[in-house]
Amino acid sequence: MNASPEIQLNGRRVLVTGAARGLGEGFARALVAAGARVVLSDVLHERGQALAAELGQTYVPMDLAVPEQVKAGVDAAAHALGGLDGLVNNAAITNSGGKTLDEIDIDTWDRVMDVNVRGTWLVTRAARPHLARSGQGRVVNIASDTALWGAPRLLAYVASKGAVVAMTRALARELGAEGITVNAIAPGLTLVEATEYVPQARHDLYLQGRAIQRPQVPDDVNAAALFLLSSGSGFITGQVLPVNGGFVMN
């Protein structure tokens, strides 16, 4: 695992949602390697607790679909760290993969929006006072390049990530006066447990369409997240950074 040691976040206090596996686990590991203090949160409690223990960090349970848990979880994270300097809004669900617009049911649509969109808003809202007190607060939203190219048979997820992109820009304007930057990373199809369901044809589409023609792994996204959480990114806000080997280019 490449820890991107050239980016140092010594003492920075960061909350990562959805940190028990996949990209979230990669962010947590990279942050610790860069010297940050991290609170991991997830709904996969056993895995989250085990990873936090391995890294010598703190785990806080948090279901983004339950507003009361979000506020309590963020406050618990800030208490454990003595404040918050950074937030990685990584937690999300897919649930609509492989289904056409006619096959997605309303409950699935609402569940995806509750977690991916409303949950991102609620976590950021709860973290805002803590990040403001930091004086150099950083929010990194994990979007998806599927919202940039309009991936088919994934409509609820794509729509939710498009909303995260739009919300990133609005939040950047609302929070800028408090010294808080808000940016988004839009990863491409990454080889993690959560994407094991993806058909080989979609993997092939990405592989053939990338300028850098190899599979994408979590380490490819870590350095971008570390930079956007660093002091060096203090004049960058409201931006969306595709990290996908050139499959989508802005």
Determine the Cα–Cα distance for residues 76 and 201; give it in Å rounded to an integer: 43
CATH code of the domain occupying 13-243: 3.40.50.720
Determine the Cα–Cα distance for residues 1 and 106; give it in Å rounded to an integer: 40
The reported pLDDT for the residue numbered 3 is 47
Closest CA to 87 of 32, 126, 33: 126
The reported pLDDT for the residue numbered 47 is 97
Determine the Cα–Cα distance for residues 67 and 71; give it in Å rounded to an integer: 7
The reported pLDDT for the residue numbered 199 is 87
DSSP state of 154: B
* Cα–chain center distance at 205: 24
Write phi, then psi, for 217 (nearest 5 degrees).
-125, 165
The reported pLDDT for the residue numbered 196 is 80
The reported pLDDT for the residue numbered 1 is 46
- The token duo for 250 is 């802005």
Our answer to whether residue 157 is catalytic in this structure is yes
DSSP state of 20: S
Write phi, then psi, for 183 (nearest 5 degrees).
-135, 165
Give pTM, 2 decimals: 0.95
The Cα-based distances of 43 to 64, 67, 69, 73, 105 in angstroms read 9, 14, 11, 11, 23
In tens digits, what is the pLDDT along the chain, a chain of 250 residues? 444 458 999 999 999 999 999 999 999 999 999 999 999 999 999 999 999 999 999 999 999 999 999 999 999 999 999 999 999 999 999 998 999 999 999 999 999 999 999 999 999 999 999 999 999 999 999 999 999 999 999 999 999 999 999 999 999 999 999 999 999 999 999 988 878 888 899 999 999 999 999 999 999 999 999 999 999 999 999 999 999 999 999 7
Determine the Cα–Cα distance for residues 201 and 176; give it in Å rounded to an integer: 42
Active-site residue among 59, 157, 197, 206? 157
Helix (H) or strand (E) holding 174: helix 155-175
- Residue-wise burial string across 220-236, b where 16 or more C-beta atoms lie within 10 A, e elsewhere: bbbbbbbbbbbeebeee
42 pairs with which residues across the strands? Answer: 61
Write phi, then psi, for 208 (nearest 5 degrees).
-75, -25
The reported pLDDT for the residue numbered 112 is 98
Q: Residue 157 contacts by C-beta under 8 Å, 6 or more apart in sequence?
A: 92, 93, 94, 95, 96, 97, 112, 116, 144, 146
The reported pLDDT for the residue numbered 250 is 79
- Extents of the domains making up the chain: 13-243
* Cα–chain center distance at 2: 18
